[in-house]
Amino acid sequence: MAGIPTEGQVAAAPPRKVRHHPRLDQAKRSWYFFRRNTLALVGLAILVAIALFASYAATQPIAWYKMTTECTADYGPDNSHSGWNNSSTGSHGPYDPEACAGFPLVCTYEVTPPPNANQFCGGQWYKSTSYKTEDFPAMVAPTWTVKPLSMGPLPLGSMATIGGIDVQQIYNIWDVLLRGSDWSLMFSVGIVGVGAFVGLIVGSIAGFFGGIIDDVLMRLVDIFLSIPVILFVVVVVLVATLDVHSVFGLDQANTKLLMLVLGFAAVWWPFYARLVRGQVLVVREQKFVEAARASGASKGRILTRHIIPNSVYPIFIQFSLDVGTVPLLIGSLAYLGFANELFPTTYFPEWGNLTQLGVSQISSILQTCTDPSGCLIPWWQLFFPGFALFLFAISVNLLSDGLRDAFDPRMRR
């Protein structure tokens, strides 16, 4: 039985070595501290839900550059709009056939639905807001049903283009929130991602090499930090779009959106460059970096294998924090009147722009209404886009706090 080891041989066998991966162990420790933060997990869950919502939007046949437009036909408060009562004429109420050509029709009423409502619009009529003698047929209130996504075209209410009696085109808030989710995520991740990548490279080089390279790069950072963000973005989108569109032959809508991302990223990277430079100045003095130099490692290997991997944790935290501010900043630019300059169309389905449209619509109603106590305000036009922005921003902030607690050893004490 020479093939079977004896008891002495088994006892004398050296113990099995367990290989440890420092970065994997550090990731496990970070996840341990992260999952102890309940609010951070809530923020992560909301972000995952928004990401799934945006993924679902990408599969829907919704227009990419404009909201899904529908048309409204109103049945007045005095039942004088006889077009709905005469099926032989084929009339569909007080609306402009040319303006509504090719658009789905949404039938509205102000006080009571018409007596023969089942004969038109498949019986799907919606109550519109009105005050005094003026009606707003395009402002359809939300339909509170158990299955809001299948019961009618406007589950979250309409969004009118302009205020007044002659409003014809309306927008389904559910559709524009659905389409705006992927645009908001793409803008946020694209702008902050490009800025963080450029800032990581510039800050790492400046902090590691020092000397004249550090001075030149940091002076370049100071120049970009002195540029007004709003002015720079608007000028880039307006001027560069024309050149890129004519030289490279890109579609004008795609070119404008590309310039919007690059314009923001051009003034976003200096913050990351300063953040990374400060971290690199600390890391490069550590013992493991000195050991790498003593072993004969090249500067490129030290920078890419030791300096950058140990300097990216502040980037993750700042990245998660900045992602939530991009839709708010875009919305503020649109509210200042730069929507036509930033987007391919005025009614571009982006959450910040939707919020601005809701504010403008309510402002126009308040200016038109002579008696504020008798006005019915379409609150849903501002609430739903604003609530989507709020959820996105607060979830990102909660997540960034959890990442800071998990990655920063000082916060674990």
pLDDT in tens, 187-235: 998 999 999 999 999 999 998 888 899 899 999 999 998 888 888 888 8
pLDDT at 151: 47
pLDDT in tens, 331-390: 888 888 788 778 888 778 888 888 888 887 777 777 777 666 666 777 888 888 889 989
User: pLDDT tens for residues 61-76?
Assistant: 777 777 777 777 666 6
CB burial string 294-317: b at 16+ within 10 A, e below: eeeeeeeebbeebbbebbbbbbbb
**Burial (Cβ within 10 Å: 0-12, 13-18, ≥19) of residue 231:** exposed
Query: What contacts 380, CB < 8 A, 6 or more positions away?
Result: 141, 142, 156, 157, 173
- Give residue 86's pLDDT: 37
| Structure tokens given for 275 | 């953040």
pLDDT tens readout for residues 166-194:
456 777 788 888 888 888 888 998 999 99
Number of alpha carbons in the 13 Å side-chain half-sphere of residue 126: 29
* pLDDT at residue number 45: 92
Q: Is the pLDDT of residue 303 over 80?
A: yes
**Domain range annotation of the chain:** 71-175
pLDDT of 179 reads 85
**Residue whose structure tokens are 């509210």:** 335
**Mean pLDDT, rounded, for 45-59:** 89
Average pLDDT over the chain, rounded to whole? 76
Q: Which range (75-79, 105-109, 246-250) has the least confidence?
A: 75-79
Q: How far is CA 338 from CA 299, 335, 390, 405, in A?
A: 46, 7, 22, 38
| Token pair belonging to 168 | 């014809």
Residue 1 has a pLDDT of 52
pLDDT of 216 reads: 92
Per-residue model confidence (pLDDT) at position 127: 75
403 versus 395: the higher-pLDDT residue is 395
Residue 44 confidence (pLDDT) above 80: yes
DSSP 251: -
* Average pLDDT rounded to a whole number, residues 299-315: 82
* Bigger pLDDT: 9 vs 290: 290
Q: Which of 146-155, 306-315, 384-393 has the lowest mean pLDDT?
A: 146-155
Q: Stretch 55-65: mean pLDDT, rounded?
A: 81
Task: Kindly report, residue by residue over 85-138, the tens digit of the pLDDT.
Answer: 433 333 444 455 565 666 777 777 777 777 777 777 777 777 776 655 455 666
Q: Which residue has the tokens 């004398």?
A: 12
Is the pLDDT at 392 greater than 50, yes or no?
A: yes
Confidence label for 38 from pLDDT (cuts 50, 70 and 90):
confident
